[in-house]
Amino acid sequence: MLTSAVDGAPRRRPDPAAKKTATELGAIGTALGALAAVILAGVLALVLHTLAQQSPRLGPAFEGWAASASNSPFPAVRWFLGDMTEPLFYKSELAACGLLAGAFLAWWAGRRGKNWAGQLTYGTGLWPWVLASASLSLLLSNVVFGRMLDDGWQPTFVPFVCVAPAMVLMYGPGWRTCVTGAVLGAFTVTPCALLLIPTVAVPLGLPPVVANVLAMSLGSVLAFLIARKLPWLVLRKPPLQPQPIQPPSSDNRVLKDAVWAARRVLSDFTETQFFANELASAGVILGVAMAFVLNPALPSYGSNLVPHILLAQALTSAIGVVVWRGWFRNGGWAATYASLVSVAPAAVLAYDGSWQSIIGGALLGAVLAPPIARAISARLPEGFHPVIGNTAAMALSTAVTLPMLGLLHR
């Protein structure tokens, strides 16, 4: 989520003829890689849909989980773990275990210089601190607001993917940053989400995700305003910069662009957790797939729409990577993940997995969310993380897209 080149402009002006060739090859290779990722997601979705018909229905379902989490330790632990993947609309402890296992594997392999590990947390080396702060913030959110689960589902997950990890990236490692980010996240974002759901989302007929991501944006603004006044936090100058997977510019350009695009789509699945790593993404996808096959009534709120959500998420990321590929050049970045965790899955749930919701939500989200995120983030003052712009873009694009899709379902 941290962007190193807000304006996305190249650092040098290449020869016009060379630029034309590079653009053409980049478009072809990127499109092929993105298409491959979507095809793989489609195959997985079809397999999951087929296997779900013979599911043994093992373990508890989503219904009643919230109420039991407030009264019993084991469901509470499961809820805490499920919160780690709820930003992806998965809500499953198996998915969370897959997420953590994949991220740990990437961290272990990365420390040993294994190229296949990809990068974790933008190559900053701060993944352990990001995970620690985000997990502590999530724990506080569950402990303080978990009692409200007696009344049903509550957005206890929201601080896991905004203030706490962003604080670590902006202010660096250490327990002071870790604990401060955790406390600020839990006590700004979660209450804001609890307030916005009944006052904004419900009256406007919008899904809770709009209120949740808007709360992440507003809560992050408040948290970073407070952080500027705390004497024990010192903003890094310059802030830690990401080291994204670089688009290639050498021989075999088409093939290398295709590989880069496929990896970029996969890493988008864990961008919202600030992991942005292919192994972590593979882990969370395998985890939610296993959970769905074991009992389709558990993940994704028991909607039975995990295959549809996975396909829509891969599709919206792929479209975004192709459309906004120019922003990734020379170490740049684009919020192609934004629709993956907001517009696309929200559209699938809102319209029961129809083809219009899968394709329409993916397309509109991919076109709208990244440029909105870029425009807002470019105008943030120093010391405010771009997660503010990214989450605001999620809220705006979802609020615009879902009513538009509703016209197709009349």
Q: Are 160 and 181 contacting, i.e. CB atoms less than 8 angstroms apart? A: no
Residue in 277, 280, 401 with CA at minimum distance from that of residue 350: 401
Distance CA 128, CA 163 (A): 16
Write out the two tokens for 405. Answer: 């899709």
Give per-residue pLDDT as tens, 300-327: 999 999 999 999 999 999 999 999 999 9
Helices 16-52 and 278-294, axial angle in degrees (round to 10) = 20
Distance CA 157, CA 139 (A): 9
- Say yes or no to pLDDT of 164 above 90: yes
Q: Are 336 and 367 contacting, i.e. CB atoms less than 8 angstroms apart? A: no
What kind and span of H or E run contains 195?
A: helix 175-196
Q: What are phi and psi of 169, to 5 degrees?
A: -70, -35
Burial of 206 (C-beta count, 10 Å sphere; 0-12/13-18/19+): buried
Residue in 351, 379, 347, 384 with CA at minimum distance from that of residue 366: 347
What kind and span of H or E run contains 301?
A: helix 299-302
CA neighbours within 13 Å on the CB side: how many for 383? 13
Mean pLDDT across the chain, nearest whole number? 91
Q: Where are the alpha helices (DSSP H) in 324-386?
A: 343-350, 355-377
So what's the pLDDT on residue 359?
Answer: 98
Residue 133 Rama label (left phi>0; alpha psi -120 to 50; beta): alpha
- Say yes or no to pLDDT of 157 above 80: yes
Q: Are 307 and 49 contacting, i.e. CB atoms less than 8 angstroms apart? A: yes
Looking at the chain, the number of H-run helices and the number of E-run strands are 16, 0
DSSP classification of residue 120:
S
Model confidence at 267, pLDDT cuts 50, 70, 90, reads: very high
So what's the pLDDT on residue 332?
Answer: 85
Amino acid at the residue 232: W
Residue in 124, 134, 118, 123 with CA at minimum distance from that of residue 281: 118
Amino acid at the residue 333: W
Q: Quote the pTM value.
A: 0.92
Q: Are 169 and 124 contacting, i.e. CB atoms less than 8 angstroms apart? A: yes
Give per-residue pLDDT as tens, 58-104: 999 999 999 999 889 999 999 999 999 999 999 999 999 999 999 99
Residue pointed to by tokens 């990401």: 242
Residues 80-94 as b/e (b if ≥16 CB within 10 A, e otherwise) read: bbbbbbbbbbbbbbb
- Say yes or no to pLDDT of 20 above 80: no
Q: Where are the alpha helices (DSSP H) in 158-275?
A: 163-171, 175-196, 202-204, 208-227, 253-267
